[in-house]
Every structure is written in C-alpha cells, then in structure tokens.
C-alpha cells in the first residue's frame, strides 16, 4: 500500500491485533497506526460508493459480475467517489456474505491451475494496476545521445588499423565496408564511442611501441 501511495487501511474483525507491530513495514508505520478496525464489513465500507471484492478464478459459483484486473482496475479508476477493494483472509478468501456487499468482483489473471495467490502479493498486484500508467508503456526509451557519424568513421579507421597491425585482415576495401557496418550495428551512444576510440588508440600505441622497441 505504501509503495503505491494508498493509505486507508481498514480491517474487519481481525483475529490478531498484532498487525500493528508488523516489523518489516519499515516505512509503513503511518498506515498501520492509522488503520481502522471495524466489527463488520458493512461498517468498514459504509462511506464507500463502490465496493469491489477480490477472488481467485472459479473458487465458487459466483453470483456477481467477475472482471479481470485489467478491466476492473480501469473501472475503479473511473469511479467518481471512494472505492473499497476487499481482500479476504489468506486461507479462505472472502465469504459469500462478504461478497454480497460488493458491486462486482475482481480477479487477478492467474493461470487456471494455480489461481489462489498470496495475500500480500495480491494486494501489490491490484494496487500496481491502479497506479499503472498506460502512457508510460508507449514512452520512447530514455533520450540518448547517439554517436555522430564522424566518430564512427574515426572508430572504423582505428579498428581497421588495429586489425591490420594485428595481422587479422588485409586492408581491403570490402573489409572496410564490413567493419563500417559492424560498427553501425553496435548502435553506440556518444559516450561509448569515445570509450572505444580511447581503447583502440591505446592498442595502437602499444603496437607502435612494441614495433619501435629494439628486439633482441
């Protein structure tokens, strides 16, 4: 809840009051401190105008509309007014009596063979769907400064020289074209092109130093 910015936790007749001491919730103390307990579900949701229950696929004959999270999340976001999202106990889920308070039910699209989810994970997945920003999926990847052609040409030249000195290839025009394409496929950003230029310069320096040094 805290990760995704939800703060209004309500508990119906909790068996353990120990929930307040939850240790792992380092940054969530406020939510736990402000959590309210209610003797009945009706009282817990009295001020809400949309009540949505969560259930795993096909747990029982459902008398309610059952919506997948993708659609249900959209409807909850569209709802004008306070909405309650109900989660049952880890073991039994929501009872039929609990569900009768709901306008409709929501299911996380788990696979059929393993429908029932861990409670904390269910809550995280549902709340993620509610804060999920569809526009963010379409965003272009982060701005990157691609290397300029001049740097890539210089890179091609230095790589060809290094390979030549290493005896890898003869300096043929067809090889030069292959190297040029190879380097374009690397899709280097400006910074990485600089790094490569530096590495190749060093290699070339080492070659020239080695060939200059007197041999025994």
Lay out the site mask for its own copies across 23-62 (x = CB under 8 A, - = otherwise).
Answer: -x--xx----------------------------------
Phi (first) and psi of residue 191, to 5 degrees = -65, -45
Burial class (CB in 10 A: 0-12, 13-18, 19+), 4: middle
Choose, by CB under 8 A, the member of 13, 40, 89, 128 that binds its own copies. 128
Q: How far is CA 172 from CA 46, 151, 160, in A?
A: 81, 21, 10
Side by side, the strands of the sheet bearing 83-86 are: 66-68, 104-107, 50-54, 83-86
Question: Which of 43, 39, 42, 37 lies closest to 97 in space, CA to CA?
Answer: 42
What does the alpha-carbon distance between residue 198 and residue 14 come to, in Å, rounded to a whole number? 65
Among 80, 97, 137, 150, binds its own copies (CB under 8 A): 137
8: contact with its own copies by CB under 8 A: no
Does 188 contact its own copies by CB under 8 A?
A: no
In whole angstroms, how close is the CB of 78 to its own copies at the nearest point?
11
Nearer to its own copies by Cβ, of 65 and 172: the residue is: 65
CA gap 36, 90 in Å, rounded: 19
- Collapsing DSSP to helix, strand or coil, 146 comes out as strand
Residues 55-114 within binding reach of its own copies (CB under 8 A)? 65-71, 73-74, 108-111, 113-114
Structural tokens at position 208: 């020239």
Comparison of 78 and 216: residue with beta carbon closer to its own copies = 78
Please select the residue that binds its own copies; options are 13, 40, 49, 121, rule is CB under 8 A.
121
Residue in 27, 11, 122 with CA at minimum distance from that of residue 19: 11
Q: Which is nearer to its own copies, 124 or 203 (CB)?
A: 124
CB 110 within 8 A of CB 54: no
Nearer Cβ to its own copies (133/213): 133
Q: By CB under 8 A, which span of 20-28, 152-160, 170-178, 200-208 interacts with its own copies? A: 20-28
Contact status: 2 vs its own copies (CB under 8 A): yes
Residues lying near its own copies in the complex (CB under 8 A): 2-5, 24, 27-28, 65-71, 73-74, 108-111, 113-118, 120-125, 128-129, 131-134, 136-139, 141-142, 144
């Amino acid at each position: 809840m805290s990760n995704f910015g939800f703060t209004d936790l309500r508990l119906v007749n909790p068996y353990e009051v120990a929930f307040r001491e939850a240790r792992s919730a380092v940054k969530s103390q406020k939510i736990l401190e402000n959590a309210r307990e209610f003797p009945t579900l009706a009282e817990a949701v009295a001020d809400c105008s949309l009540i949505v229950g969560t259930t795993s696929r096909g747990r029982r004959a459902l008398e309610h509309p059952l919506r997948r999270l993708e659609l249900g999340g959209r409807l909850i976001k569209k709802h004008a007014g306070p909405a309650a999202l109900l989660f049952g106990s880890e073991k039994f889920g929501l009872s039929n009596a609990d569900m009768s308070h709901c306008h409709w039910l929501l299911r996380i699209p788990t696979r059929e063979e393993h429908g029932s989810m861990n409670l904390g994970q269910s809550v995280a997945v549902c709340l993620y769907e509610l804060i999920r920003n569809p526009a963010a999926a379409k965003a272009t990847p982060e701005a990157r400064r691609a290397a300029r052609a001049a740097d890539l040409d210089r890179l091609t030249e230095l790589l060809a020289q290094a390979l030549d000195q290493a005896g890898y290839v003869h300096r043929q025009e067809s090889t030069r074209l292959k190297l040029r394409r190879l380097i374009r496929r690397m899709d280097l950003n400006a910074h990485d092109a600089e790094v490569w230029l530096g590495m190749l310069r060093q290699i070339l320096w080492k070659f020239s130093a080695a060939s200059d040094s007197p041999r025994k």
